[in-house]
Structure 1
Amino acid sequence: MNTPNIVLTRVDNRLVHGQVGVVWTSSIGANLLLVANDDAAKSELQQELMAATAETSGVGIRFWSLEKTISTISKASPRQKIFLIIKTPQDALTLAKGGVPIKKLNVGNMHHSGNKVSLTKKVYVDQADIAAFKELVKLGVDVYIQDVPDEKKILIEDVI
């Protein structure tokens, strides 16, 4: 079993879009986008749209369920520089508890819905999100909010 070369994990409820697929991918030197999301793993339409963005950046893209990510990511080649993209902090926690070695968690976009409150202008959370972030920090994950690479990081502990 290899330790996969995960260069960054990002929570973004939009998953792969221009900012993720172009700006972040080039900034971190990733050559593979791994979308770990149960819905996207089953949706051809979502996959087509996200694959077009990856193609623009000249990187590979995979769409795996959370379970497949947990069971398969350790088989990744060391030359794969993986940008792991997930939709929620709960997904990050599921992956981390499942043995996926997430060292850094970049929180990008979490849209407002229901009873979520604002941490920043692009990150809205509820109690379940906060609990997941706190548990990830306890597991030793460096969790921070950063919309784009040239913005200053905001440590999650400073805002929850």
Structure 2
Amino acid sequence: MKAGLDMPNILLTRVDNRLIHGQVGVTWTKTLGANLIVVADDETSSNEMMQSLMQVTAKSSGAETRFFTLEKTIKIIDKAAPRQKIFIVVKTPHSARVLVEGGVPIKELNIGNMHFSDGKRALNKKVYVDDQDVEDFKILIENGVNVYIQDLPGDVKEQVSHLI
């Protein structure tokens, strides 16, 4: 990864099970001033139905959308133009970890919704984790990523390091 001015302009990366929905596609995108939402998710990258539903939401904020696999995101993120103000959305902490370990310069990781499922425990009312999620958070934090829970832009940030 090149340093300095050639770095991609990543405004924020968010973990959200739902990927692009009203909160992400409108509220977060407008607050950040993002003009490109990159959904880095292997499953969604090949599901045109999911993509078209997400694009409808994103269009209302005026942002463009791209749907890439994790590997493709790693390979092309450094080719982003300086005018692109990028908001990356992933489904899981593990996806964020893969991106960071692949060289994507993520400095902040916002944790939005991580739904309850068997084997998961609550970090707060909207974020449920299992042992793999906790391990991924620890590695991200060790790599210098500021990992925090923040549902909406005006909400107080809860540092994940204090919760795990």
TM-score of the aligned structures, taking structure 2 as reference length: 0.96
Q: How does 1:1-150 map to 2 (within 5 A)?
A: 1=2, 2-150=6-154
Task: Kindly provide the CA deviation profile for residues 33-72 of structure 1, in whole angstroms up to 9, marking residues without a partner as x.
Answer: 0000000100000000000011111110000000000000
Number of equivalenced pairs: 160
User: Secondary structure, in 3 states, of the residue corresponding to 2:123?
Assistant: strand
Q: Give the Cα separation in 1 of the matches to 2:65 and 2:59.
A: 8
RMSD between aligned residues: 0.6
Q: Give the Cα separation in 2 of the matches to 1:20 and 1:71.
A: 24
Q: Give the Cα separation in 1 of the matches to 2:67 and 2:126.
A: 25
What is the CA-CA distance between 1:103 and the residue it aligns to? Answer: 0.2
User: Secondary structure, in 3 states, of the residue corresponding to 1:78?
Assistant: coil
Task: Kindly provide the CA deviation profile for residues 71-121 of structure 1, in whole angstroms up to 9, marking residues without a partner as x.
Answer: 001000001000000000000000000000000000000000011000010
Q: Give the Cα separation in 1 of the matches to 2:116 and 2:58.
A: 26
Structure 2 gap segments, 5+ residues each: none
**Which residue matches 1:151?**
155
Structure 1 gap segments, 5+ residues each: none
Q: Give the Cα separation in 2 of the matches to 1:86 and 1:4.
A: 17
Q: Give the Cα separation in 2 of the matches to 1:9 and 1:96.
A: 11
Counterpart of 1:12 in structure 2: which amino acid?
D
Counterpart of 2:104 in structure 1: which amino acid?
V
Counterpart of 1:158 in structure 2: which amino acid?
H
